[in-house]
Structure 1
Amino acid sequence: MLKFSRLQTIAILVICFLGSALAIPSLVGPHNMPSWLPMRHFNLGLDLQGGSYLLLEVDAEAVKRERLENAVDEVRGLLRTADLRVAGVGVEGSGLVVRLADPGDAARVTDALRPLTQASLPGEIADFTIVPEAGRLRLDFGQQALTNRVSKAVDQSLEIVRRRIDETGVNEPIVARQGASRVLVQLPGVTDPGRIKRLLGQTAKMTFHLVGDATVAPGSSAPPGFEWLQNSDRGAGGGQVLVRKRVEVDGATLTDAQPSADPQSGRWVVSFSFDSIGARRFADITKANVGRPFAIVLDGRVISAPVINEPILGGRGQISGNFTAQTATELAVLLRAGALPAPLTVVEERSIGPELGADSIKAGVISCIVGVVLVFAYMWLTYGFFGLIANAALVFNLFLTLSCLAMLEATLTLPGIAGVVLTLGMSVDANILINERIREELRKGKTALSALETGYIKARGTIMDSNLTTLIKMVLLYVVGTGSVKGFAVTTSLGIITSMFTATVVARLLTAIWYKRTRSKELPVFGPIKLKTAGMKINFMNGRHVGLAVSVILSTASVVMFFKPGLNYGIDFAGGIVMEVRTAEATDFPKMRQVMEGVNVGPVALQAFGTDRDVILRMERQEGAESNQQAAIKAVTAALEQNFPGSEVRRVEAVGASVSAELFSDGMLALGLAAFFMLLYITFRFEWQFGVGAVVTMMLDVTKTIGFYAVTGLQFNLTAVAAMLTIMGFSINDKVVVYDRVRENLRLYRKMPLRELIDRSINETMTRTINTNIAVFLSIVPLALYGGEALREFAWALLFGILLATSSSIFIAAPILLYLGENRLRKTMDAEDPPGNEGGEGEAAKA
């Protein structure tokens, strides 16, 4: 194990060097690197650099409504072509109804409408199916057809959204599809997404219509073929305008639109131009209707209705109205980018101000530095020179993790920093396992070289098992997680992978180099602090009944508290709005409560935190449409600006009902899948008794963690799910170490009672358990102290989970293994390794 060829040594050193070099651009900043040097780097998430995250959903009802309205015209056209008369055509429910004038025409009408039941492209599903009914035909618009329409609308919306955002000058925006009906938009540096939401919230479908008879009184029934539309041009008096339903010119033929000031009136207008088809159609209409008003309709509202004074033959025109410079610019942007196929609604929003992002970076860096210093100091105090080698491996682990993030051009979020800090603590476990194994071999009287070789060999399998179990959980968290939770999963997974390399390869290489140079007969594996745990003979199984009883009582109480009083669900799961505000002076809470009561957004909970100027506002999910969430944010922001001048909205999070329900189901799915795959893995690597013991104990740990959230009132959100999955990983990790020693001792001590053997295994791994817990504890404490609101709750849950996982390994997992494994495990081990091989037992007995 300590022999490395020259080629292997060079390869390992090159990997470490490249890992360090590739991490430098991300650490010093790409702008500080030479421009000619092509270097990848990881990006900072919105919670670190500031920006906005918007999740938009295509309005499926609007897609269905538009398709049905268009189908009415198609039906009438097909019937005219076939020279068939019917009593009427209209929309009813999720389809169309054609009322027959003569029931005997049913077959002919069905044949005429056959094109509507045929797919436009091979392999596609037709939009309608014809169902004969008494005296009429029903054309059903199927759910699959609607799903296909929505999917196409999302595809079309992606490019239009991209174009609209590009027009605003936002740097490096991210626009991507998410799921079947949603569009994800990330806007780095955009701290007030109000303008972007206005741009994305309009379909910008512009059409030109002739105006109806001015003698028809507003509010009366519209004549056939006409409809009343709201007039948004306040300069023309507002009210309603009667317009012909028929579209004379479609805005889809526009080629350009620019804001400008009218040289005669000085008012802002939008100048536009058509392509050749649109210009020809526009010229024909204006030529035939000189002297008549011509309505310009945008998203169902008349924005201008000028009178056609003369034919417009050049394909250019002007939209005048009650515009400001900003609204004229925004309308021009919308017209240039094109109309959305369907309205987009903001169902989730998260905005972080740049100042808060800088504070988050500072908190994350401080947490990392303090955590690293504490862990490094403890490793040196515990393992002396070999602790320093472990620290060197941890440094390379950190650089390799960061370089992997850079190569993937991943996004580092605040939970991602928490993952880096947590990885440092957990990767120490591999070095502790190795050093403790070396110590054991030395206590058995082996030589320095033999102790090193045996220590690395015996620790390798345990390290692999414990890390793979955690890696499985992080993969599941990435698959079902979203947003920053994915960032946590990515950084933790990369840290685990690189730690297996640095602990078992890099640390071993450094140890081999030291040993070849010194040929020391004594190994400096003991530090100034020496725990008196070696040779312990505590009979832990004597307390197994009490341990199991207490565990069952606590888990039962936790389940009861889950229902009553229940968990404090965060907006991820409950929906609602959270706004973090910093006022110009010390916050006047009585005044703010009074102001919020008048906003009409339901109960607003105020929470002080940080400085006396910081306050968090929490609002329940607004009833009704998803757009009501945005209306509430706008109302609260306006009230703050009016009553608390100089106040700054540093963070906004809004989650609608549909998103919160999906996030909750995904979180619960992650927990369930994690338990299932852990059972499979432990059963595969050990025996089914080990798998059942580990998973049952892990689920009991989960119930107690839920009880912890219920008692403390900490928010239960996606970050809490990440904390629970991490606790599950640590719990399994701890049990794998104990179980691995039990499996080893089963082969060494074939005649020892299982109860005594389990006690012996726990005692032998006690030093590792204590040292690992202290190291992980030291890496997490800085998060609890400096990590900010979200990470502070995450850290406290992990600290609870560390204590819980350690105690459950001793007093729950071990007794379950005792009950399930007596006699059965002996038979399995004898089948794998016949009793004739007793050499290991004799050697252990001598030790």
Structure 2
Amino acid sequence: MSNLKPLKSALVWLAVLLGVALAMPNFLTKEQADALPSWLPHRQVALGLDLQGGSHFMLQASREDILAERLEAVTNDVGKALRDADIAYFGLSGEGQLISLRVRDRAKLPTARAALAPLMAPVETGGLVSDEVTELAFDSAEADDLIRLRLSDEGIDYRMSQALAQTMDVVRRRIAEVGVADPLIQRRGDDRLIVQVPGLADPQRLKDLLSQRARVSFQMLNVAVPVEQAVEAQPPAGSEVLYSFDDPPIPYLVEKTRLLSGEDFTAAQPDIDATSAEASVAIKLTPAATGRVAALQAKGADQKVAIILDDQVVAAPTLAAAVKGDTAIITADLPEEGATDLAALVRTGPLPATLTVVEERTVGPGVGDDAIGDGLKAGFIAAVAVAVSMIFFYGVFGIFAVAALAVNLILIIAALSLTGATLTLPGIAAIILTIGVAVDSNVLIYERIREEARGGQPLVQSVNKGFARAFSSLFDANLTMLIAGAILFYLGSGPVRGFAVTLAIGSFTTLFTAYTITRRIAKAWLRGWKAQHLPKGIRTGRFSDLDIRFMAIRNPVFIVMAALSVASVLLLASLGLNLGVDFKGGSIIELESKAGNVDIADLRVRLDELNLGEVQVQHLGSGNDVLVRVPSQEAGDNAEQTAIGVIRAELSDEYAFKRVEVVGPVVSGELTRAGTIGLAVSFAAILLYVWLRFEWRFALGAIIATLHDVLLTIGFLVITGIEFNLGSIAAVLTIVGYSLNDTVVIYDRIRENLGRYKKMPLSVLIDASINQTLSRTILTALTTVLALAALYLFGGGLIRSFSVTLLFGVIVGTISSIYIAGPILILFRKRTDHFQGGENSSGPGAGAAQTAKGSV
């Protein structure tokens, strides 16, 4: 094995060098990174929209549109099949997924069913694994007079999948129309798309383009019947009544047959009339369409034609005015920008189904720049504070820890660059949190080394044993963080996923750097300096020399903590959490006044006049910035977007929209379910690991202590009124991991001492174990609190509530690992004789504790 040590060391340092190379482009400008030699990495960390500005949309395609069009198409196919077979029928109609008809001659029922049988043929779905889908099937018995056919759910799903693939192409073309390159478009589920557009200057225009289906057609007017008669009675066969965009709308009787539609258009451009200054859209036609229109014009150019956009009449000019040669002209009361957008819609083609924006998160570029600056400032201050603390308490060993921490940060950046994972604002928070938590690994190791050295062993052996004995605790701590991060990534979305990815990467890099890098630096120091004793700069011994009798006051403290947990439950039941838009729907808008300080009273009055419900307005930071909360409109996802559009129209001249978050009722319900499941699954997975890792009494103690921390954190959120959103779930799960980490470290020492001191009173043994790990507990809490404090003070308003929640949870978790986890073991000891020895089976408690401390 000794022959492999040089190879292992070489691989470790090679990994570090590779990390430095991968991370290096991030410390250069984009131009400098692109200018690097081709054999060097060029990729920089992809910044989330909350850091570079842009918009995130979740679009839902209408299944009803697909079903309606499929129902109409199949109904027409049924009628044609029967006519081709010379079978008379009546009552052909479709509703929902059912199509029904009756055959006039009952004797021809078998023939009719045979004529319809080809429509039931399975369809090849294609793809890597070829499969067949039956879209249509008989829904009535052969002897029934009424023939019923049903569209299958599988068939609609297949058509929906096809439509979503086509929708992605149309969406990509429409985004290109607003001048944005490299959008991210992904499918999400069976009927949704995720669209992320960086650097978007006008999100409202893009939403308007994406939310219009844009089915443009030219259809002849039916003038044989007065339109009023068609409205009051039944439109003639082959015709339908459509209405204009006017207020009040004007009815038109139009023929269903389309004279011109999307497949007849080859190009479209906005056009401005030089004399009237009216905007119009000129559409180039295919030769076949040009010939078809010319033949109709020859019969009478004064015939009226309806220009239809998404089943509404835009205009009704004469055929001669509507089509001139090979160009169709849409003339309407359009502003210049409206003509430009309509031309863009015609060029990009119609959407297969209507898209609804069910979730929107838009951040202005200035906000992203501020977020990066605040995040870097908070990270720098946190790193400096942690480095100073480690060097102060550990001297040269502290310098080793700082070096390992620097490598840790470089490897995190390298991993983000290599994988293409997106760094979000919560991701920066995860890095800062990693700074605080990663130090815990070094503290665990150093305290083990210090304890081994106190036993009189040579320093080299003390270092080796310290690293070996600390590994299980290191592994447990980082695995619990990894579990929380993995489940957050699976169930989360957007920035929460960014937090989860960075947290998971940090778990790996922390374990690697703390155990591997720090070990090699320490061994190199031992060889170089021939050290025989620990450095004099280590000052943590004073903590373990305190010999605090924690368990002497366990009962009153336990009762107080339990009472606070019960109070948190009662507060949650009576007051409830201040749920954010993620969980109850609605909108959040961050505005910046263009003319100085905001008049809150005037802004409230103006927003109240829009009749959008109980709109809340509050100052945010400077006097120029305000936060507007708009309640859920309770009329579907379109209503949420309509409300944002109304607010933009009212305030856009005087305010800059820095940030917009809109969550529709469907998404908010899904996020609530996903958040609840995520918390439950993460909690269960972490605790299951602890249960398997420890004897069941320890596991139960860890469960109770962690549950206490979660309840107190929720109570804190209720009392403070901090908004509970997706970031809050990430904070709670991080607190779960931190609390368990703290408890596991103490339990590891208790379990070890139980094997060594079989006759020591349990309360004394627990006190000894806590004192032995007290320096680690204090230093880890201190460095984590310093990092979170920096995040709270300098990280910006967007993550302030996140960081203060974590700050509270870390403090509570530190206390509970002593005064909840410890007393639970004593409580179970009184009920069972599992632990060897009794409370009175050895000498005085203090002496036993000192013996334990001196022996380790």
Q: Does 1:226 align with 2:222?
A: no
Deviation at 1:158, TM superposition (A): 0.8
In structure 2, how many angstroms separate the alpha carbons of the residues matched to 1:306 and 1:685? 79
User: In structure 2, what is the equivalent of residue 734 of structure 1?
Assistant: 742
Deviation at 1:91, TM superposition (A): 3.1
Q: Secondary structure at the match of 2:91?
A: strand
Q: Secondary structure at the match of 1:248?
A: coil
In structure 1, how many angstroms separate the alpha carbons of the residues matched to 2:640 and 2:495? 22
Deviation at 1:113, TM superposition (A): 3.3
Q: Secondary structure at the match of 1:532?
A: helix
Q: Does 1:502 align with 2:525?
A: no
Deviation at 1:670, TM superposition (A): 1.2
Deviation at 1:709, TM superposition (A): 1.0
Deviations 1:35-64 (A, max 9, x none): 353501112211111111111101122222
User: In structure 2, what is the equivalent of residue 702 of structure 1?
Assistant: 710
Q: Does 1:42 align with 2:50?
A: no
Q: Does 1:173 align with 2:186?
A: no
The structure 2 residue matched to 1:597, chosen from 599, 608, 617, is 608
Deviations 1:106-163 (A, max 9, x none): 5544444334444333734333443338753333334443333323221211111011
User: In structure 2, what is the equivalent of residue 800 of structure 1?
Assistant: 808
Deviations 1:500-528 (A, max 9, x none): 1111111111112221111022222634x
Q: Secondary structure at the match of 2:55?
A: strand
In structure 2, how many angstroms separate the alpha carbons of the residues matched to 1:129 and 1:525? 85
Q: Does 1:410 align with 2:418?
A: no
In structure 2, how many angstroms separate the alpha carbons of the residues matched to 1:104 and 1:773? 87
Work out whether residues 307 and 316 of structure 2, in 8 Å CA contact, stay in contact via their aligned partners in 1.
yes
- Larger mean CA deviation between 79-88 and 101-110 belongs to 101-110
Assess, with a 3 A threshold, how the Cα gap between structure 1 residues 506 and 282 changes in structure 2: closer, same or farther: farther
Q: Does 1:327 align with 2:338?
A: yes
In structure 1, how many angstroms separate the alpha carbons of the residues matched to 2:323 and 2:496? 57
In structure 1, how many angstroms separate the alpha carbons of the residues matched to 2:781 and 2:701? 21
The structure 1 residue matched to 2:498, chosen from 463, 487, 494, is 487
Work out whether residues 575 and 654 of structure 1, in 8 Å CA contact, stay in contact via their aligned partners in 2.
yes
In structure 1, how many angstroms separate the alpha carbons of the residues matched to 2:569 and 2:472? 36
In structure 2, how many angstroms separate the alpha carbons of the residues matched to 1:44 and 1:525? 44
User: In structure 1, what is the equivalent of residue 577 of structure 2?
Assistant: 567
Assess, with a 3 A threshold, how the Cα gap between structure 1 residues 825 and 16 changes in structure 2: closer, same or farther: farther
Letter in 2 for 1:151: S
User: In structure 1, what is the equivalent of residue 60 of structure 2?
Assistant: 57
Deviation at 1:569, TM superposition (A): 0.1
Assess, with a 3 A threshold, how the Cα gap between structure 1 residues 515 and 31 changes in structure 2: closer, same or farther: same
Assess, with a 3 A threshold, how the Cα gap between structure 1 residues 698 and 145 changes in structure 2: closer, same or farther: farther
User: In structure 2, what is the equivalent of residue 711 of structure 1?
Assistant: 719
Deviation at 1:294, TM superposition (A): 2.9
In structure 2, how many angstroms separate the alpha carbons of the residues matched to 1:400 and 1:142? 52
Q: Does 1:345 align with 2:350?
A: no
Q: Secondary structure at the match of 1:792?
A: helix
User: In structure 1, what is the equivalent of residue 74 of structure 2?
Assistant: 71
Deviation at 1:490, TM superposition (A): 0.9
Assess, with a 3 A threshold, how the Cα gap between structure 1 residues 417 and 311 changes in structure 2: closer, same or farther: closer
Assess, with a 3 A threshold, how the Cα gap between structure 1 residues 249 and 639 changes in structure 2: closer, same or farther: closer
Deviation at 1:481, TM superposition (A): 0.6
Assess, with a 3 A threshold, how the Cα gap between structure 1 residues 327 and 712 changes in structure 2: closer, same or farther: same
Paired residues in the alignment total: 829
User: In structure 2, what is the equivalent of residue 836 of structure 1?
Assistant: none
Deviation at 1:589, TM superposition (A): 1.3
Assess, with a 3 A threshold, how the Cα gap between structure 1 residues 126 and 279 changes in structure 2: closer, same or farther: farther
Assess, with a 3 A threshold, how the Cα gap between structure 1 residues 36 and 467 changes in structure 2: closer, same or farther: closer
User: In structure 2, what is the equivalent of residue 86 of structure 1?
Assistant: 89
Q: Does 1:470 align with 2:481?
A: yes
Letter in 1 for 2:83: R
Q: Secondary structure at the match of 2:477?
A: helix
Q: Does 1:760 align with 2:768?
A: yes
Assess, with a 3 A threshold, how the Cα gap between structure 1 residues 577 and 537 changes in structure 2: closer, same or farther: same
- Which consecutive segments of 4 or more residues in structure 1 shift more than 6 A? 1-4, 310-314, 821-824, 841-845
Assess, with a 3 A threshold, how the Cα gap between structure 1 residues 103 and 391 changes in structure 2: closer, same or farther: same
Letter in 2 for 1:48: L
Assess, with a 3 A threshold, how the Cα gap between structure 1 residues 551 and 284 changes in structure 2: closer, same or farther: farther
In structure 2, how many angstroms separate the alpha carbons of the residues matched to 1:352 and 1:394? 32
The structure 1 residue matched to 2:677, chosen from 653, 662, 669, is 669
In structure 1, how many angstroms separate the alpha carbons of the residues matched to 2:494 and 2:6? 44
Deviation at 1:821, TM superposition (A): 6.5
Deviation at 1:530, TM superposition (A): 4.6
User: In structure 2, what is the equivalent of residue 833 of structure 1?
Assistant: none
User: In structure 1, what is the equivalent of residue 219 of structure 2?
Assistant: 209
In structure 2, how many angstroms separate the alpha carbons of the residues matched to 1:523 and 1:312? 92
Assess, with a 3 A threshold, how the Cα gap between structure 1 residues 457 and 272 changes in structure 2: closer, same or farther: same
- Larger mean CA deviation between 213-222 and 805-814 belongs to 213-222
Q: Secondary structure at the match of 1:295?
A: strand
Assess, with a 3 A threshold, how the Cα gap between structure 1 residues 624 and 813 changes in structure 2: closer, same or farther: same
Deviation at 1:32, TM superposition (A): 2.9
Q: Secondary structure at the match of 2:447?
A: helix
Q: Percent identity?
A: 37
Deviation at 1:288, TM superposition (A): 5.6
Identify unmatched segments of 5+ residues in structure 1.
828-840
Deviation at 1:633, TM superposition (A): 0.7
Letter in 2 for 1:780: L
Deviations 1:721-780 (A, max 9, x none): 000000001011111111221222233223434443333222211110011000100000
Identify unmatched segments of 5+ residues in structure 2.
126-130, 837-849
- Larger mean CA deviation between 337-346 and 129-138 belongs to 129-138
Q: Secondary structure at the match of 1:587?
A: coil
Q: Secondary structure at the match of 1:176?
A: strand
In structure 1, how many angstroms separate the alpha carbons of the residues matched to 2:31 and 2:409? 22
Letter in 1 for 2:74: A
Q: Secondary structure at the match of 1:323?
A: coil
In structure 1, how many angstroms separate the alpha carbons of the residues matched to 2:788 and 2:707? 23
Letter in 1 for 2:394: Y
Letter in 1 for 2:704: V
> TM-score with structure 1 length normalisation?
0.92
Deviation at 1:26, TM superposition (A): 1.7
The structure 2 residue matched to 1:523, chosen from 516, 534, 550, is 534
> TM-score with structure 2 length normalisation?
0.91
User: In structure 2, what is the equivalent of residue 386 of structure 1?
Assistant: 397
Deviation at 1:456, TM superposition (A): 1.2
In structure 1, how many angstroms separate the alpha carbons of the residues matched to 2:338 and 2:727? 40
Matches within 5 A, 1:521-670: 521-524=532-535, 526-527=537-538, 530=540, 532-583=542-593, 584-641=595-652, 645-670=653-678
User: In structure 2, what is the equivalent of residue 126 of structure 1?
Assistant: 134
Deviations 1:350-397 (A, max 9, x none): 111122222111211111111111111110111111101100110111
Work out whether residues 544 and 811 of structure 1, in 8 Å CA contact, stay in contact via their aligned partners in 2.
yes
Work out whether residues 255 and 275 of structure 1, in 8 Å CA contact, stay in contact via their aligned partners in 2.
yes
In structure 2, how many angstroms separate the alpha carbons of the residues matched to 1:437 and 1:67? 71
In structure 2, how many angstroms separate the alpha carbons of the residues matched to 1:639 and 1:314? 43
User: In structure 2, what is the equivalent of residue 25 of structure 1?
Assistant: 25
Q: Does 1:815 align with 2:823?
A: yes
Q: Secondary structure at the match of 1:257?
A: strand
- Larger mean CA deviation between 693-702 and 655-664 belongs to 693-702
Letter in 2 for 1:136: L
User: In structure 1, what is the equivalent of residue 777 of structure 2?
Assistant: 769
Deviation at 1:279, TM superposition (A): 5.0
The structure 2 residue matched to 1:164, chosen from 174, 193, 196, is 174
**Pairwise CA RMSD:** 2.9
Deviation at 1:238, TM superposition (A): 7.5
Q: Secondary structure at the match of 1:613?
A: strand
- Larger mean CA deviation between 423-432 and 58-67 belongs to 58-67
Assess, with a 3 A threshold, how the Cα gap between structure 1 residues 495 and 755 changes in structure 2: closer, same or farther: same
In structure 2, how many angstroms separate the alpha carbons of the residues matched to 1:47 and 1:281? 52
Deviation at 1:443, TM superposition (A): 1.8
Q: Secondary structure at the match of 1:676?
A: helix
